[in-house]
Amino acid sequence: TLVPAVAQSVERHLGIKPISRNPVCAVALGACVYAAIKNKSKVSGAAAIALAAKKIQDVSPHYFGAIYLEQSSGRLKVENIIAKDTPLPCVQVKSFSRSGSQTTVRTEITQSSSLTEDVDFVRIVESIKLENLPVVESNQNEIKVTYKYDENGVMSCTMLDVFSGKSFDTTLNKRGESGDNGDGEIDINKYTLE
């Protein structure tokens, strides 16, 4: 930012005095470097040599998890499924279990800026539920939760009861709305996470 304290903090922590503290220029220069790395065929000379070994990797900006009931304590906890800074695209799968007589499984999909198991410090993105599950033996109670996060910032979640094959799929969005406008058209603006 243009605030002098930011430049002073950079110098204090990194030992480098910033040449400029104009965020607009920083973004523009970053966009130029990004474009050059993505399309190296249009770059020549010293710039081509400097960029030859450079790689850009999109990463998850947050932790994403699911709330579950910890049997030993009887408390709700967050199981982190996608860690912050995980390279995108990614697919992460976690297994949970249900009691044999449990016929409904519900969880909340969470988002947080820091790693935590505490449900009070996460943002609930969406709730998902599997219903009418069969009563099963304790060795047939696996629930698989799969998070897919693509390079466009669109995340989807599947919750699967392994024994019955019943599943619930959802595409996550920051408004808690479906992306279907009711006319069969999909509004891509509803599929972005913070």
For 147, other C-beta atoms within 10 Å of its C-beta total 22
Instruction: Please provide the size of the chain in residues.
Output: 194
Q: What confidence score (pLDDT) does residue 152 get?
A: 82
Average pLDDT over residues 44-72: 86
Q: Across the chain, how many H-helices and E-strands are there? A: 3, 8
* The token pair that represents 9 in the structure block: 């903090």
Domains of the chain, CATH where assigned: 4-51 (no CATH), 63-190 (2.60.34.10)
Q: Which stretch of 52-56, 96-100, 116-120 has the lowest confidence by average pLDDT?
A: 52-56
Residue indicated by tokens 């982190």: 80
Q: What confidence score (pLDDT) does residue 111 get?
A: 93
pLDDT band at 31 (very low <50, low <70, confident <90, very high): confident
Residue 180 CA to residue 188 CA, distance in Å, equals 9
Phi, psi of 159 (to 5 degrees): -115, 125
* Global confidence as pTM: 0.71
Residue 61 CA to residue 85 CA, distance in Å, equals 6
Amino acid at position 90, single letter: C
Residue indicated by tokens 């912050």: 84
